[in-house]
Amino acid sequence: MKRPLLAVLTAAMLCSPLASLSAHADDVRSRMIRFGYGLNENSNQGRAAKLFAEEVAKASEGKLKVRTFGAASLGSDDQMQSALIGGAQEMMVGSTATLVGITREMAVWDTPFLFSSAEQADAVLDGPVGRQVMDKLEEKGLVGLVYWENGFRNLTNNTRAINRLEDFSGVKLRVMPNPVFLETFKLMGANAVPLPFSELFTALETKAVDGQENPFNTILSSKFYEVQKYLTVTNHVYSPWIVTVSKRWWDGLSQTEQQILLEAAQKTRDFERQDTREEAARALAQLKDKGMQINEVAPAEVQRMREQAAPAIAKVVDTVGQQLFDQVQAEVDKAAR
Ligand code: TF8
């Protein structure tokens, strides 16, 4: 059976109003998008990545297919960033802290005790200065879409409960490969060792390191409770995640395709923050059930730690420049706690 060409074309256009025969701003083509992340599938990061894939499929009528790769199966944050820059991978989500070697302005989010609530972090990250820092990625071959929440970081270790500054002494602590984190924990007196997240569980299990710091959610989803005894509630810094795209690949997309990805990332951000906060609120009780010994640090001791961390803040200022640092601080002060 032969159908007239025009009828076929008309039918195709009716079924898919965005489709056209040549590349236009409103084109949506069939594309495969590899979206990598470091945590397990069963984590706040994994749940959000899955939702992102679903939202993109829905908005593109199945043409844009996001394939998610969890547990660092495409590599550590650093390796994925390089793949994005080179165009070998399309998308990822990871810590802003692992981007500092590429875009030094990202170090502003590593300032210890910068935010005092998650809502304050939202206001600053989603505001003009958050955008400004994100846009700095473009000159390095990356496009930032949105910030997701990793969360306030807390300390676990196998040596002792950390109640006072002095308790850090001699603790071999894994930190993210990031100069501000390294400096902060050296200042606390810990033996700070930078390691990619993908090597962390094994390092704890084999006792190559004594401890680490991450949000409650990650301590749960990565099962650190199996290999860590003490959990100290420090909330020493708020960690953002950032969803990034290969610029090389992004520049070849139509405006409609870019819009679909951006809107899905924004929708997912709102889900992810809520999901993360709900999980974090329940996590401490669960970690206790799993046998972790939990302690809080008295306010006066937190104050001592803050003072001890002051040179790390000077390092942030050095790295990002006084102007950006002040701008962020002004936005923090403006945002409600
Ligand atoms: C860390 C970070 C990690 C994230 C994740 C792999 O400790 O908090 O959890 O970078 O995306 O390395």
The CA 328 to ligand 1 mean position distance, Å, reads 23
Nearest to 41 by CA among 221, 277, 282, 272: 221
The CA 139 to ligand 1 mean position distance, Å, reads 24
pLDDT of 25 reads 82
pLDDT at 6 over 90: no
Q: Is the CB of 224 under 6 A from ligand 1?
A: no
Atom of ligand 1 nearest to the CA of 153: 8
Q: What is the mean pLDDT of residues 59-87?
A: 98
Select 29-149+240-280's CATH number: 2.70.150.10, 3.50.50.100, 3.40.190.170, 1.20.1090.10: 3.40.190.170
| Percentage of the chain exceeding pLDDT 90 | 92
pLDDT of 23 reads 58
Q: State whether residue 310 is helix, strand or coil.
A: helix
DSSP 323: H
Please give the CATH topology (third level) of the domain spanning 154-238+282-332. Answer: D-Maltodextrin-Binding Protein; domain 2 (3.40.190)
pLDDT tens figures, 133-181 = 999 999 999 999 999 999 999 999 999 999 999 999 999 999 999 999 9
pLDDT of 13 reads 47
pLDDT at 2 over 70: no
CA angle in degrees (0–180, nearest 5) for 163-168-169:
130
pLDDT at 19 over 80: no
Residue 300 or residue 19, greater confidence: 300
Domain spans of the chain? 29-149+240-280, 154-238+282-332
CA angle in degrees (0–180, nearest 5) for 195-197-200:
75
Q: Is the CB of 94 under 6 A from ligand 1?
A: yes
Sheet arrangement for strand 64-69? 64-69, 31-36, 91-95, 238-246, 142-152
Burial label for 223, CB within 10 Å (0-12, 13-18, 19+), is middle
Atom of ligand 1 nearest to the CA of 176: 12
Chain centre distance of CA 39: 10
Q: Is the CB of 237 under 6 A from ligand 1?
A: no
Q: What is the mean pLDDT of residues 279-287?
A: 97
pLDDT at 21 over 80: no
Give, for 227, the enclosing helix (H) or strand (E).
Answer: none
Q: Is the CB of 239 under 6 A from ligand 1?
A: yes
pLDDT of 1 reads 42
pLDDT of 8 reads 45
What value of ipTM does the predicted structure carry? 0.98
Q: What is the mean pLDDT of residues 87-112?
A: 98
The beta strands (E) that lie in 190-326 are given as: 191-194, 211-214, 230-233, 238-246, 293-296
Q: State whether residue 211 is helix, strand or coil.
A: strand
Looking at every residue in the chain, the average pLDDT score rounds to: 94
Atom of ligand 1 nearest to the CA of 95: 10
Atom of ligand 1 nearest to the CA of 150: 8
Tokens standing for 197? 């997240």
Q: What is the mean pLDDT of residues 23-33?
A: 90
From 77, 106, 238, 243, the mutation candidate for ligand 1 (largest count of ligand atoms within 8 A of CB) is 77
pLDDT of 257 reads 98
Is-same-fold flag (29-149+240-280; 154-238+282-332)? yes
Q: Which residue lies with its CA nearest to atom 10 of ligand 1?
A: 95
pLDDT at 313 over 80: yes
The CA 63 to ligand 1 mean position distance, Å, reads 31
Q: What is the mean pLDDT of residues 112-118?
A: 96
pLDDT tens figures, 212-257 = 999 999 999 999 999 999 999 999 999 999 999 999 999 999 999 9
pLDDT at 7 over 70: no
pLDDT at 16 over 70: no
pLDDT tens figures, 179-215 = 999 999 999 999 999 999 999 999 999 999 999 999 9
31: pLDDT confidence band, cut at 50, 70 and 90?
very high
Q: What is the mean pLDDT of residues 101-127?
A: 97
Atom of ligand 1 nearest to the CA of 196: 12
Question: Are β-strands 154-157 and 230-233 bridged in parallel, bridged antiparallel, or unpaired?
Answer: antiparallel
pLDDT of 102 reads 98
